[in-house]
Amino acid sequence: MKKVTGIGGVFFKCDDAKGMNEWYAKNLGLETSAYGTTFEWRHADDQSKMGSTTWCAFPNDAKNFDPSTKPYMINYRVENLTALVEELKKENVTIVDQIAEYDYGKFVHILDPEGNIIELWEPGDESAEEQSAE
């Protein structure tokens, strides 16, 4: 079973998330909003499919990185999140929460051996993602 298929996002905490977004917009040309920015791309193995990677700065008091004390979180794109979570449980990987499902995909959070929070994301229907990007 293919597990991680790519990076879905990079998230980090900072003292001034709004100011950080503005700095990246001004100096590096990122088109940011309160939710950071999204880089769209096409799948290498099927150019008709769209994908995306998100970059976002969060305030230091953001709770969505808990229980990790680290100031960053990486989101990995995966295939078949439900089956992967079952495999991870067998390996005694710490599963932080239940799988949450939204229109844009399924999510769950796990911890690595050093307590880094990892977000796993199985994207929703990417043909719908492609249509919304047009």
We report the CATH number of the domain holding residue 15 as 3.10.180.10
Per the structure, the complete domain to which residue 25 belongs is given by 4-133
Our count of domains for the chain comes to: 1
- The predicted model gives 47-65 an average pLDDT of 92
Record the pTM: 0.85
Instruction: Tell me the per-residue pLDDT of 60-111, one tens digit each, with 9 for 90 and over.
Output: 999 999 999 999 999 999 999 999 999 999 999 999 999 999 999 999 999 9
Report long-range pairs for 116-119 (Cβ below 8 Å, ≥24 apart): 116/68, 116/70, 116/72, 116/73, 116/74, 117/65, 117/66, 117/67, 117/68, 117/70, 117/73, 118/73, 118/74, 118/75, 118/76, 119/8, 119/9, 119/11, 119/73, 119/74, 119/75, 119/76
